Amino acid sequence: MSDAVISVTTLSKWYGQVIGLNDVTAAVSPGITGLLGPNGAGKSTFLKLVTGQLRPSKGQVHVLGQPIWRNPAIYRRIGYCPDHDTFYERMTGLEWITALLRLTGFTDDEAVKTARRALDTVSLLDVADMKIGAYSKGMRQRVKLAQAVAHDPDLLVLDEPFTGMDPVGRRRTMALVKSLVRAGKSIIISSHILYEIELMTSTILLMHNGRILAEGNVHQIRDLLNEHPHRVQITASDPRQLARQLLDSPYVIGLSLQEDGLTVQTNRPDEFYTRLTALAADGAVGAIDEVLSLDDNLKSVFSYLVTQ
């Protein structure tokens, strides 16, 4: 673990009688590591321990070679994108990032300039003066990413950063994540969608019920996951037109329409997501506002993996 950016040893976290994390030992190497697991697997607890927000009930956490708990010098080297929104809704995106940078020690002028750069990095500079309360879900996700990268940290901890993003926004954000790694950053990024992680890295930690089930190469479990039909819920402005484009696809095995979208069942998710992104970019099927992988199906997939 000497070159690990994150190392945890016999790490556990208890919330009263509830176990959030159970005796985890793992190491995260430089580069991109995907933290994969269904909702409730313990991913957010793990990331909050790694960022020093929670104190371990047992075990040790080292980040960038030092203990993380009550170590402000290391906090300054970490960028964190939380899974939940914690904004002052009446502040603009620029005001929000500027305020956070001032808390980090930037002067007023430096904070404004740096905040503008961060918003430009996530393609939000054109709405920098719009109140966050008026942002769409995808824009709120991107402003959280801007707060994470603004102070130029060495390690980025991203908790479900793609939730609620449209396909084009996801593709742009994935490209940004990969560019940050090329610039020398290390990143741990959580998701409950394997195919998002696979587009960025083959290195994963697989979590279930507060434990690390596996770590290593994502391709080793890919075929097992593809044995299960994968359900995707899509919110779209013209669901019927989108359905017509998808029905003839050999990898779509089921489809149901709703008033504001559709639910698709696919047995080849990687090809499906590629096709959906292309349709969203083309614009011929109207706006695709949100894409969600339905959790109950993923939970059944992970239950299947646990028995193998």
- pLDDT tens per residue across span 134-165: 999 999 999 999 999 999 999 999 999 998 88
Range 106-116 average pLDDT: 97
Higher pLDDT, 295 or 250: 250
User: Which letter, b or e, does each residue of 163-197 get, where b requires 16 or more Cβ atoms within 10 Å of its Cβ?
Assistant: bbbbbebbbebbebbeebbeeebbbbbbbbbbbbb
Residue 93 scores a pLDDT above 80? yes
**Residue 59: is its pLDDT beyond 80?**
yes
Per the CB < 8 A criterion, the answer to whether 242 and 248 are in contact is: no
CA distance 32 to 189: 7
pTM for this prediction: 0.77
**What are the distances in angstroms from CA 90 to CA 6, 130, 169?**
36, 9, 24
Q: So what's the pLDDT on residue 243?
A: 93
**Which architecture does CATH list for 227-307?**
2-Layer Sandwich (3.30)
From the list 85, 68, 86, the residue with the least C-alpha distance to 76 is: 68
Q: Smallest Cα–Cα separation from 201: which of 185, 210, 188? A: 188
In angstroms, the CA 285 to CA 171 distance is: 18
pLDDT, position 107:
96
Poorest-pLDDT segment among 21-25, 31-35, 172-176, 249-253: 249-253
Which two tokens mark 253? 């095995």
Residue ranges per structural domain of the chain: 1-77+153-226, 88-152, 227-307
Do the two domains 1-77+153-226 and 227-307 of this chain adopt the same fold? no
Which CATH architecture is the domain 1-77+153-226 placed in? 3-Layer(aba) Sandwich (3.40)
Question: Is pLDDT at 7 greater than 80 in this prediction?
Answer: yes
